[in-house]
Amino acid sequence: MSFLASWLASPPLDAAIEIAPEAVSIAVLGGGGQNAAVQGYAVEPMPGGAVVPSLTATNMIDRDMVVRALRAACESVGVRPRRVALVVPDLVGKVSLVRFDQTPPRRDDLARQIRWQIKKSPPFPIDDACVTYSPGSRATEGNEFVVVASKREVIREYEGVCEEVGIEAGLVDLATFGVVNLFLSSGPPPSGDWLVVHMRPEYTSIVILRREDLIFFRNRAEGDQEALQDVVHQTAMYYQDRLSGRGFARILLGGLGRTPGAVDMARRNLEEHMGAAVEPIDPTRGAALTDRIQPTPELMATLSPLVGMLLRSRREAVTV
């Protein structure tokens, strides 16, 4: 499992697949560089309850259903990829920001220190965790890392579905980090701070970046009592008081809500509260759509993390 940026370059992946509670989705990119385009995609809906994202419990409630949906999506797009970027729900990962005054020079020592530092953060023994990390803010004192801990058995559930269809998950990442990589991989980041609000029927994640550095992450499960505008307000206060925030250069919102019109309502509330325009999260920022693909808000929400993962894979393939 890896996120935001890998330590080592690897070959570009054939496709990106997302396993979400409502559907299994796949996207394939064609072209290269500035001419990247979504060559094909497919979305295979699933009945509620087939996948239930959780940090600790079984996620694949109806594994056979998920396997059938993945096979059907591959058949629909006309591709049976060998290696893919796999997108999983944010709810399966515990995200932490960890800072050290001094970073151990050896990667093995750093990994051990990070695991020790976050051992009380996830609600399961750290020995049962997949722990991945990436450099965080470079503007703070010391050295900061963005760390994700997921239960190893949970990640294996998602990988196992792919393996059942003959597909290797060469990269696994959280959905919201896929969205962030859509922007990090498709042009220079904003010169200041930017806020990303990514909605899904089961959760909403809020990210603050300072140029290309992630400095804040919060996930709110849909069952929580706090309204989105309250969470954003609390985030904005924390940003000003603790992160030396001076205002957002850009505010981005996208995804899928639990009810029709939920994202549009959230956009209006955000604009009223923040006093600034809110931009949609748009995958065509990094990859064009062919003429036969008709953009809809639902399709844009589906493609954003998939395209972000594939653009990141291409970027890292040329990184030495």
Q: Report whether pLDDT(12) > 80.
A: no
Following DSSP, what letter does each residue of 122-170 receive, concatenated? SSS-GGGEEEEEEE--SSSSSEEEEEEEEEHHHHHHHHHHHHHTT-EEE
Residue 274 in contact with residue 256, Cβ under 8 Å? no
Give the 3-state secondary structure of 208-242. EEECCEEEEEEEEECCCCCCHHHHHHHHHHHHHHH
| Separation between Cα atoms, residue 177 and residue 59, nearest integer Å | 20
Q: How far is Cα 186 from Cα 283, in angstroms, rounded to an integer?
A: 10
What percent of the chain lies above the pLDDT cut of 90? Answer: 71
Give the confidence band of 81 by pLDDT, cuts at 50, 70, 90. Answer: very high
Q: Which of 7-11, 43-47, 112-116 has the lowest mean pLDDT?
A: 7-11
Between the CA of residue 221 and those of 140, 151, 200, 201, what are the distances in Å? 29, 18, 9, 9
Structure tokens that stand for 23 in this block: 């559907």
Do 103 and 112 form a contact (C-beta atoms < 8 A)? no
CA 203/CA 217 separation, integer angstroms? 13
pLDDT at 320 over 90: no
Distances 87 to 29, 158, 304 between C-alpha atoms, Å: 16, 9, 11
State the amino acid at position 43 in one-letter form. V
**What pLDDT is recorded for position 45?**
97
DSSP string for residues in 287-311: SEE-TTPPP-HHHHHHHHHHHHHHH
Whole-angstrom Cα distance, residue 147 to residue 156?
19
* Stated pTM of the model: 0.92
Residue with tokens 């990303």: 196
Candidate from 13-17, 90-94, 219-223, 268-272 with smallest mean pLDDT: 219-223
3-state SS assignment for residue 270: helix
pLDDT at 205: 96
For residues 155-168, average pLDDT: 97
pLDDT tens digits for range 144-161? 999 999 999 999 999 999
Q: Of the ranges 43-52, 159-168, 182-191, 304-313, which one carries the lowest mean pLDDT score?
A: 182-191
Q: How confident is the model at residue 223 (pLDDT cuts 50, 70, 90)?
A: low
E runs forming strands in 34-128: 37-45, 83-88, 94-100
Predicted confidence (pLDDT) per residue in 237-253, tens digit: 999 999 999 999 999 99
**For 165-187, what is the mean pLDDT?**
92
β-bridge partners, 216: 208
- How far is Cα 63 from Cα 51, in angstroms, rounded to an integer? 8
Q: What does the pLDDT read at residue 9?
A: 44
Q: What mean pLDDT do residues 122-147 have? A: 88
Looking at every residue in the chain, the average pLDDT score rounds to 90
Q: What is the pLDDT of residues 22-63, one digit of tens each?
A: 999 999 999 887 889 999 999 999 999 999 999 999 999 999
| Mean pLDDT of the region 12-17 | 90
Q: Please, which pLDDT band fits residue 8 given cuts at 50, 70 and 90?
A: very low
Other CB atoms within a 10 A radius of the CB of residue 5 amount to 17
> What is the distance of C-alpha 70 from the center of its chain?
19
Beta bridge partners of 16: 27, 85
